[in-house]
């Protein structure tokens, strides 16, 4: 395994996440896309840490991101629940109150 | 020295203002009391003026020497910008102070018939008198300027509220025109202020007498081009007031629209402020430019004389004719002053005094007939001499005084101007002397159309002049006659000062 | 008594004030106040005259001055009086005629509503005229000069209800002012050059050469302009005939005997200042006047107008006489003329009073009705016509002699004598025409004739007195070589400096010296040569015979035509209609002046009035209007640009906001898409 292959995996994963965010209407699916992107970033962190910088900082950062992603998912899911309670849907297109 | 002696000029100036304050405190509807207060307040300066006359030392000149001024009151007023309350009298201002006191009082009496808002009228009138007295008494330029402007405001309202049909136009014209002159004066005043140094304190100064010492000027102010500009600024400011051709057209309008007594003040006193300003301020501060500008001034004076007389002849409104005759007569003042000879200068000053009386009479008389016939069209009368002989008598006296008949003060003044000016400007005086023919012509022509010839039946029942009006006219007529036969009392007042003035100007030649 | 001469004018002044103030309430309406004042003046004048007469010194002079106007010593005018022989004579003439006219007026003006006013005016006139006579400086003579003008104005316009009177008084004053304009300039030139105003001081200054040459000539002509106006000389003579609108006593006093003679008096008074050129102007002006007026008098129908033109003409004789060097002759004619012309005028007043008409063709045969008037009138007419034995002959003869002498010395100016002589004949002719038409022949208007009656004594007594004074023996005993007037009023020495005065003539030119000597330019006391005396004598003899001849011829013609009917005057008039119209219309002077000076001035004044109202004031109003326009323009600018900018910022913000908000869809996908796109673009930019 070299750095290149890891970066390709990371980029593929990022693209999957971006695709999910752009195409999915369901908020949960979008959230999943976000999680994919975060994890793509994690792979980059770890890969660069291991091959390039040779310090532990990148891997620690990845752990932080995993924790934050968990918290984010929790907050996001709570929002979706409230959204579903008020509007009866979790479609992201319905939530366009910020439209100018 | 009692209080009155020490503050005689201030008293003359501010007693009318006090009267105005009292009048404003009066409740409504007490017209007679208001009139009485006004009469008293404007009468009080007369005894003071008599006292002034008696106490005046005719042998000291004044003009540009501070310690030769008399009845001086000199205090600091606004120390931060060096404004002083500086009043004093010399031979230049004495005749004007006396004239103002007399004419103002007579004008109040002449206003007795005013019906509309008498309270406001009298208050404004007294304010006006304060302004006039102040102008003639002040020796600080700033103070002079303040009084000059103070006079403007009441005049505006007196014409604008109590005037004839076109009063608003006339009032605005008068106000704006005069204000234009004032602005020029203000600019010159500031230029003088910032470019001269008070030798006593080292700061800037508004004191006119300091300006008259060239040593107080800085280098900029000593430049001849600058001095010409400043002189012309002042000159236009004063010329508007005189009024000199071509700045005279506010005068006929203002006169025609103003109520009688205000016309009297306007012609009798206000016009003199222009020539007085030239004598008091322009000539002594800028003697070099005065000499340089003497010929144009003489030409302007002559234009005034001849042009004013011809315009007067063309008028069909009696009051307008008298107004233009004032334009003509004020030309003599300028011609005499421009000559820069003792006879010319004294003649000019005496003309100011004499014209003050004669033209006051004329405007009173026009007012008399206007009050009765309600029009002033010269051709609309005819043969009044048979109906109102006493009135005719007064008009004849006033007209002949005005056309310069010997025996009246106008003749002395005019002939002194001619004699004084002839040595300086020969051709100009010959042209100006043509004016005496035209002046005679239009006076007599008007006299004929109004009073002689067959009686216009419309006025067969015209009311004769009443006692109050005779009371206004008699002192003026008697003074004109007395000073025409024996002018020395007035001439003595001004001789020393005016000769000094001529010498001050002449020494720079 | 001479010391109290200043009281003489003050008495009438006092009477004037009394009559103006309370005249109406006095008994007899105050006429006695004026009469007493002038009567006292007459008494004093006669006393002074005899005092001077007894001294009998041609150079007698009483001269006092008091300070009057003083400007710190830099300009001084003194008031004073000067009494010399001329003054003494003039005082008697003025107070004498004035007193008689006062007395005559009591009858003539009886019952007039403004009776006391009339006497007041007569008094102010007497005051002014006496002041003029006694004045000792150019300044004071000018003052009184104007004052007599005022009195004349008031008296001509006394019946101001008549339009013609109102016109006439105005005309008189204004025309006189035109002359006074010249007078003023003249005395200004003299003052500017010499710095003094008194006669003697000015003469002294001229003698010292302070003013000479053309300037002095101009000064002299300027002062003479005053005389042209006051003495009704060509071209300012037009006011005098119109002045006859005044009451007849006024015409007699002011416009015949005294005031109009003031011009002659003035020329005589300042005689030393005139240069030879100025004298020539004076002589020719006088000549034109005497001829023109006499021709007009030939055809006039109005008794007063004939007398008025004859006055003009006689004044022309005097002026001309002075101009040709006949100083004594001119002033003597002034004196004699005062008496007989006053008599003629008062006589005409008596006639008018009787028939209530002034047209001589409505009179005739009045001799039978009013014998005293007619007799006195005829005596005065004989005097004016120059019949020997009467005063007019004596004085006119002297004038003619002076003119002839002048003509003999300067043959190119002989025309003066010829025209004068011819006019003397005309004078006799038109005066006798007047007498014949008025008093002789058959009454032409019976109605008027029937009502005619002799006037009351207070009117005919003055006539008799004046007629008596028209005899020559008052002035010269028949066989005497010289009359007292000639002795007492000699020609004064000229003050003009000869050498400086005629620089054009090379020194030593015999002609110029000769000229100077004969025009009286050389200093007084220069003995006249035998040649001169001989010439003068010769001139005098010729003049005397020829003047008697033409007078006789004129009288004869008048009798022939108007009494015996040799020729019908109407036929003559019809034969020369143009000439007749020309004369009847007074040479069209009034029309000429009306068309030029009067209308010119009026048009000029109207034009200037228009100019003032529309151009000068128009400019002022234009300035105001432009101020209004400028302000409205600036107002618009302010509204559009300055405020527009402020509002524009707001508008742009709003517009751009509403544009940009379209991108704010609120849709998550859009945002992410743009985000991704943005990243891509950045990447592409960075990469290439």
Best residue in B300, B419, B485 for a mutation probing chain C (most C CBs within 10 Å): B419
Kindly list the domain boundaries of chain A, sorted by start residue.
Answer: 3-89
What CA–CA distance (Å, rounded) separates C597 from C616? 26
> Does B250 lie at the interface with C, CB-CB under 8 angstroms?
yes
**Can you give C269-283 as a three-state secondary structure string?**
HCHHHCCHHHHHHHH
For chain B, give the longest Cα–Cα distance.
74
Three-state DSSP class for residue A26:
strand
pLDDT > 50? residue C517: no
What is the distance in angstroms between the Cα of C639 and the nearest Cα belonging to chain A? 33
Q: C-alpha angle B323/B328/B331, rounded to 5°?
A: 130
Q: How far C140 CA sits from the closest chain B CA (Å)?
A: 9
Distance from CA of C653 to the nearest CA of A (A): 15
Residue among B174, B178, B136 nearest B49 (CA): B136
Q: Is B266:B258 a contact under the CB 8 Å cutoff?
A: yes
* Peptide bond before residue C661 is cis, with ω within 30 degrees of 0: no
Whether chain B lies against chain A with 3 or more Cβ pairs closer than 8 A is no
| Contact by Cβ (8 Å): C312, C240 | yes
What's the DSSP call for residue C663?
A: G
CB-nearest partner of B441 from C71, C174, C610: C174
Hey, are the CB atoms on A100 and C662 less than 8 Å from each other?
Answer: yes
Taking an 8 Å cut-off on Cβ atoms, the answer to whether C69 and B412 are in contact is: yes
Domain boundaries, chain B: 292-509
With pLDDT > 90 as the criterion, what percentage of chain C qualifies?
10
Average pLDDT over residues C637-644: 85
pLDDT in tens, C143-162: 999 999 898 999 888 888 88
Residue from A34, A41, A93 whose CB has the most chain C CBs within 10 Å, to mutate: A93
- 3-class SS at B218? coil
User: Which of the 8 DSSP states describes residue B247?
Assistant: S
Residue A27 and residue A91 in contact, taking contact as beta carbons nearer than 8 Å: yes
Q: Which helix (H) or strand (E) holds C78?
A: strand C75-84
B245–C contact, CB cutoff 8 A: yes
**Which one of C662, C664, C669 has the shortest CB-CB distance to A98?**
C664
Note the pLDDT tens digit of each residue in C520-530: 444 444 444 56
Quick one: average pLDDT of C596-623? Answer: 84
Chains touching C (at least 3 CB pairs under 8 A) are A, B
- CB-count exposure of residue B456 (10 Å: 0-12, 13-18, 19+): middle
C661 and chain A in contact, CB less than 8 A: yes
* Chain B hits for C624, Cβ within 8 Å: 173, 176
pLDDT score, position B100: 92
DSSP per-residue string spanning B446-490: HHHHHHSSS--GGGTTPPPP-HHHHHHHHHHHHHHHHHHH--HHH
Estimate to the nearest angstrom the gap between the alpha carbon of C400 and the chain centroid: 25
**Residues B249, C146: C-beta atoms closer than 8 Å:** no
**pLDDT at position C529:** 56
Question: For A20, which residue in chain C has the nearest alpha carbon?
Answer: C669
SS3 C83: strand
DSSP-derived letter for residue B201 is T
pTM for the full model? 0.83
Distance from CA of B150 to the nearest CA of C (A): 24
Residue C632 sits at the chain A interface (C-beta within 8 Å): no
How far apart, in whole angstroms, are the C-alpha atoms of residue C290 and residue C269? 21
List the helix and strand counts (H, then E) for chain C.
Answer: 30, 2
Strand spans (E) along B54-175: 70-78, 83-89
- Integer Cα distance of B5 and B349 in angstroms: 26
Structure confidence at residue B235 (pLDDT): 92
Scan residues 378-397 of B and list those with Cβ closer than 8 Å to C: 383, 385-386
- Could you please report the per-residue DSSP string of A33-61? HHHHHHHHHHHHHHHHIIIII-SSHHHHH
How high is the pLDDT of residue A100?
A: 63
Stretch C583-602: mean pLDDT, rounded?
81
pLDDT score recorded for residue C433 = 87
The ipTM value here is 0.89
- CA-based nearest residue to C38, from C150, C146, C121: C121
Subunits touching B (CB < 8 Å, at least 3 pairs)?
C
pLDDT tens digits for chain B (509 residues)? 578 888 888 989 999 999 999 988 888 777 888 888 889 999 999 999 998 898 888 888 887 777 888 888 888 888 888 888 999 888 889 999 999 999 999 999 988 888 888 888 899 999 999 999 999 999 999 999 999 999 888 999 998 888 888 888 888 888 888 888 899 999 999 988 888 888 778 788 888 888 888 888 888 888 888 899 999 999 999 999 888 888 888 888 888 888 889 999 998 999 999 999 999 999 988 988 899 899 999 999 999 999 888 888 888 888 989 999 999 999 999 999 998 888 899 999 999 999 999 999 999 999 888 888 888 888 888 888 888 888 999 999 999 999 888 889 999 999 899 988 988 888 899 999 888 888 988 899 888 888 888 888 888 888 888 888 898 899 999 999 999 999 998 998 888 888 888 888 888 75
Smallest Cα distance from C631 to chain A, Å: 45
Contact A92 C666 (CB under 8 A): no
Q: Do B436 and C139 touch (CB under 8 A)?
A: no
Output phi, psi for C82, to 5 deg: -130, 120
**What Cα–Cα distance (Å) separates residue C660 from each residue in A38, C656, C663, C676?**
31, 6, 6, 19
Which of B63, B172, B249, B345 to probe by mutation at the C interface, max C CB count within 10 Å? B249
Chains C and A make contact, 3+ CB pairs within 8 Å: yes
- Please indicate if any CB of chain C lies within 8 Å of the CB of A83: no
Give the torsion through C-alpha atoms of B242, B244, B247, B248, to 10 deg: 70
CB contact under 8 A, B433 and C184: yes
CB B331 within 8 A of CB B308: yes
C625-648: burial string, b at 16+ Cβ within 10 Å, e else: eeeeeeeeeeeeeeeeeeeeeeee
Domain spanning A3-89: CATH 3.60.15.10: no
* Residue pLDDT, tens place only, C253-312: 888 888 888 889 999 888 888 888 889 999 999 999 989 888 888 888 888 888 889 999
Contacts of B495 in chain C (CB under 8 A): 70-72
- pLDDT tens profile A49-69: 988 888 888 899 999 999 999
């Amino acid at each position: 395994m070299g750095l290149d292959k890891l970066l390709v995996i990371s980029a593929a994963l990022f693209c999957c996440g971006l695709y999910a965010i752009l195409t999915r209407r369901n908020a949960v699916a979008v959230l999943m896309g976000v999680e994919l992107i975060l994890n793509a970033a994690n792979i980059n962190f770890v890969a660069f840490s291991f091959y390039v910088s040779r310090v532990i900082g990148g891997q620690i950062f990845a752990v932080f991101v995993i924790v934050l992603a968990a918290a984010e998912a929790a907050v996001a899911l709570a929002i979706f629940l409230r959204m579903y309670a008020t509007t009866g849907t979790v479609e992201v297109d319905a939530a366009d109150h910020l439209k100018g | 020295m009692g209080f009155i002696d020490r503050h005689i000029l201030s008293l003359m100036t501010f007693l009318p203002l006090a009267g105005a304050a009292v009048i404003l405190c009066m409740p409504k509807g007490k017209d007679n009391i208001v009139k009485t207060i006004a009469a008293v307040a404007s009468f009080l300066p007369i005894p003071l003026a008599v006292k002034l006359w008696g106490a005046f030392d005719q042998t000291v000149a004044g003009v540009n020497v501070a310690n030769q001024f008399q009845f001086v009151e000199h205090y600091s007023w606004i120390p931060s910008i060096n404004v002083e309350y500086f009043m004093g009298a010399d031979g230049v201002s004495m005749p004007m102070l006396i004239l103002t006191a007399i004419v103002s009082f007579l004008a109040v009496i002449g206003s007795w018939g005013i019906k509309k808002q008498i309270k406001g009228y009298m208050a404004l009138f007294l304010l006006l008198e304060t302004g006039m007295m102040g102008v003639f008494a002040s020796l600080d330029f700033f103070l002079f300027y303040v009084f000059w402007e103070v006079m403007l405001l009441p005049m505006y309202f007196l014409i604008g509220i109590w005037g004839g049909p076109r009063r608003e136009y006339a009032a605005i014209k008068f106000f704006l025109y005069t204000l234009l002159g004032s602005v020029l004066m203000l600019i010159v005043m500031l230029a003088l202020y910032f470019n001269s140094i008070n030798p006593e304190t080292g700061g800037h100064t508004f004191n006119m007498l300091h300006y008259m010492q060239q040593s107080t000027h800085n280098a900029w102010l000593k430049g001849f081009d600058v001095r010409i500009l400043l002189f012309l600024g002042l000159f236009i400011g004063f010329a508007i007031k005189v009024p000199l051709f071509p700045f005279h057209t506010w005068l006929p309008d203002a006169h025609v629209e103003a109520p009688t007594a205000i016309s009297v003040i306007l012609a009798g006193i206000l016009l003199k402020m222009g020539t007085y300003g030239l004598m008091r301020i322009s000539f002594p501060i800028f003697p070099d430019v005065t000499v340089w500008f003497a010929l144009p001034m003489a030409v302007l004076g002559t234009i005034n004389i001849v042009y004013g007389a011809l315009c007067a002849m063309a008028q069909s409104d009696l009051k307008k004719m008298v107004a233009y005759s004032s334009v003509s007569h004020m030309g003599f003042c300028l011609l005499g002053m421009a000559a820069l000879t003792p006879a010319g200068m004294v003649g000019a000053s005496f003309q100011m005094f004499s014209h003050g009386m004669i033209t006051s009479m004329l405007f009173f008389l026009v007012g008399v007939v206007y009050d009765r016939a309600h029009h002033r069209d010269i051709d609309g009368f005819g043969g009044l001499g048979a109906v109102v002989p006493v009135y005719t008598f007064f008009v004849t006296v006033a007209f002949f005084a005005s056309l310069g008949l010997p025996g009246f003060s106008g003749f002395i003044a005019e002939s002194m101007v001619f004699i004084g000016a002839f040595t300086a400007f020969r051709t100009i005086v010959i042209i100006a002397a043509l004016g005496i023919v035209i002046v005679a012509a239009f006076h007599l022509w008007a006299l004929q159309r109004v009073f002689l010839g067959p009686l216009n039946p419309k006025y067969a029942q015209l009311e004769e002049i009443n006692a109050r009006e005779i009371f206004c006219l008699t002192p003026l007529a008697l003074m004109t006659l007395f000073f025409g036969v024996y002018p020395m009392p007035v001439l003595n007042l001004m001789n020393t000062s005016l000769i000094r003035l001529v010498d001050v100007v002449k020494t720079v030649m | 008594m001479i010391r109290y001469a200043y009281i003489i004018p003050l008495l009438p002044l006092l009477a004037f004030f009394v009559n103006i103030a309370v005249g109406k309430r006095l008994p007899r309406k105050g006429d006695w106040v004026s009469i007493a004042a002038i009567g006292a003046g007459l008494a004093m004048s006669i006393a002074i005259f005899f005092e001077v007469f007894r001294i009998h010194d041609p150079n007698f002079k009483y001269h006092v001055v008091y300070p009057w106007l003083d400007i710190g010593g830099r300009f001084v005018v003194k008031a004073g009086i000067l009494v010399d022989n001329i003054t003494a004579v003039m005082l008697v003439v003025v107070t004498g005629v004035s007193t008689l006219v006062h007395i005559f007026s009591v009858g003539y003006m009886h019952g007039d509503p403004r009776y006391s006013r009339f006497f007041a005016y007569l008094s102010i006139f007497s005051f002014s005229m006496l002041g003029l006579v006694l004045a000792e400086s150019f300044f004071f003579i000018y003052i009184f000069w104007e004052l007599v003008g005022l009195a004349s104005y008031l008296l001509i316009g006394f019946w101001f209800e008549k339009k013609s009177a109102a016109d006439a008084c105005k005309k008189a004053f204004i025309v006189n002012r035109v002359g006074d304009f010249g007078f003023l300039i003249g005395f200004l030139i003299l003052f500017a050059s010499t710095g003094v105003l008194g006669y003697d001081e000015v003469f002294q200054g001229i003698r010292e050469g302070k003013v000479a040459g053309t300037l002095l000539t101009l000064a002299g002509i300027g002062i003479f302009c005053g005389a042209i106006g006051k003495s009704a000389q060509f071209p300012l003579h037009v006011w005098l005939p119109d002045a006859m609108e005044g009451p007849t006593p006024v015409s007699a006093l002011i416009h015949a005997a005294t005031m109009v003679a003031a011009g002659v008096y003035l020329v005589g008074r300042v005689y030393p200042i005139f240069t030879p050129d100025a004298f020539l102007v004076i002589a020719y002006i006088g000549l034109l006047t005497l001829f023109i007026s006499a021709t007009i008098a030939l055809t006039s129908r109005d008794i007063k107008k004939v007398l008025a033109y004859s006055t003009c003409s006689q004044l022309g004789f005097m002026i001309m006489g002075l101009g040709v060097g006949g100083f004594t002759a001119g002033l003597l004619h002034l004196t004699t003329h005062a008496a007989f012309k006053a008599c003629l005028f008062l006589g005409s007043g008596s006639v008018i009073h009787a028939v209530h008409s002034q047209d001589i063709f409505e009179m005739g045969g009045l001799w039978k009705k009013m014998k005293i008037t007619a007799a006195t009138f005829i005596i005065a007419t004989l005097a004016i016509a120059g019949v020997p034995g009467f005063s007019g002959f004596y004085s006119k003869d002297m004038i003619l002699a002076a003119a002839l002498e002048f003509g003999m010395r300067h043959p190119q100016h002989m025309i003066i004598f010829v025209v004068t002589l011819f006019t003397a004949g005309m004078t006799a002719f038109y005066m006798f025409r007047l007498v014949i038409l008025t008093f002789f022949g058959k009454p032409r208007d019976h109605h008027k004739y029937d009502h005619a009656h002799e006037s009351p004594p207070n009117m005919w007594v003055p006539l008799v007195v004046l007629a008596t004074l028209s005899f020559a023996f008052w002035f010269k005993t028949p066989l005497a070589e010289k009359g007292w007037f000639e002795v007492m009023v000699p020609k004064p020495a000229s003050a003009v400096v000869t050498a400086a005065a005629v620089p054009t003539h090379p020194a030593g030119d015999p002609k110029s010296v000769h000229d100077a000597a004969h025009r009286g330019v050389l200093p007084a006391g220069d003995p006249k040569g035998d040649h001169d005396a001989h010439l003068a004598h010769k001139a005098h003899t010729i003049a005397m015979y020829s003047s008697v001849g033409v007078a006789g011829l004129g009288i004869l013609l008048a009798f022939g035509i108007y009494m015996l009917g040799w020729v019908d005057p109407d036929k003559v008039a019809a034969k020369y209609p143009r000439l007749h119209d020309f004369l009847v219309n007074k040479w069209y002077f009034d029309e000429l002046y009306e068309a030029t000076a009067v209308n010119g001035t009026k048009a000029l004044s109207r034009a200037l009035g228009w100019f003032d109202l529309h151009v000068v004031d128009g400019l002022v109003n234009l300035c105001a209007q432009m101020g209004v326009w400028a302000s409205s323009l600036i107002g618009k600018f302010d509204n559009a640009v300055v405020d527009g900018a402020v509002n524009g910022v707001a508008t742009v913000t709003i517009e751009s906001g509403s544009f940009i908000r379209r991108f704010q869809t609120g849709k998550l996908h859009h945002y992410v898409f743009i985000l991704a796109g943005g990243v891509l673009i950045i990447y592409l930019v960075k990469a290439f």
